[in-house]
Amino acid sequence: MRAVPPAILLAAALLSPAGAQDAPPDLRGVWSGVARSVVLGSGFHHPGTETEKDPPHVREVRFTYTVRGQDDRLVWGTFASPSYEEPFAWAISRDNRTVVGADTDGQHRLTILGPDQMEQCYTHSALSPTKSIVASCFLIERTAR
């Protein structure tokens, strides 16, 4: 009996359904959740008179993410609070659970928990135009497809 060359075994494993990448999840639609954020200063989504030199404060704000487009693992749209709306861009990792992205002044890291639920973690530094500092992790749920 002849041995199968390792290169053929590797090719068979990579081309088999088990070795193929699953399609990324479809994130299009409207997602919403209430963020409980620690905020130093004030900004577009956290308006006020506080500066980054004032003591930190905790704010609760409802955010709505509208995913307007998706091309394979690349996702884009807008997100809004009651006081401001801005664009975002996200990229879905090959594990189909991790999503990273950015908007005009901050960074997004999401974990897909189910077809209609994600944990959204958001930060931005004092390098943002408002000079505020924000950190938050919260659940968002799909409210429309």
Nearest to 136 by CA among 66, 53, 79, 76: 79
pLDDT for res 128: 82
Q: Are strands 117-124 and 74-81 parallel, antiparallel or unpaired?
A: unpaired
- Confidence bin at 122 (pLDDT 50/70/90): very high
112, 97 Cβ separation under 8 angstroms? yes
Higher pLDDT, 40 or 20: 40
Angle at 108 between CA 105 and CA 114, to 5 degrees: 155
- Confidence bin at 18 (pLDDT 50/70/90): very low
- Confidence bin at 7 (pLDDT 50/70/90): low
* Domain architecture of the chain: domains with CATH: 22-144 (2.40.128.120)
pLDDT higher than threshold 50 for residue 142: yes
The model carries a pTM of: 0.83
58-107 pLDDT, tens digit per residue, is 999 999 999 999 999 999 999 999 999 999 999 999 999 999 999 999 99
Q: Which amino acid is at 88?
A: F
Q: Is the C-alpha dihedral spanning 86, 93, 69, 114 positive or negative?
A: negative
What SS3 class is residue 104? coil
The Cα 96–Cα 89 span in angstroms is 16
pLDDT for res 11: 52
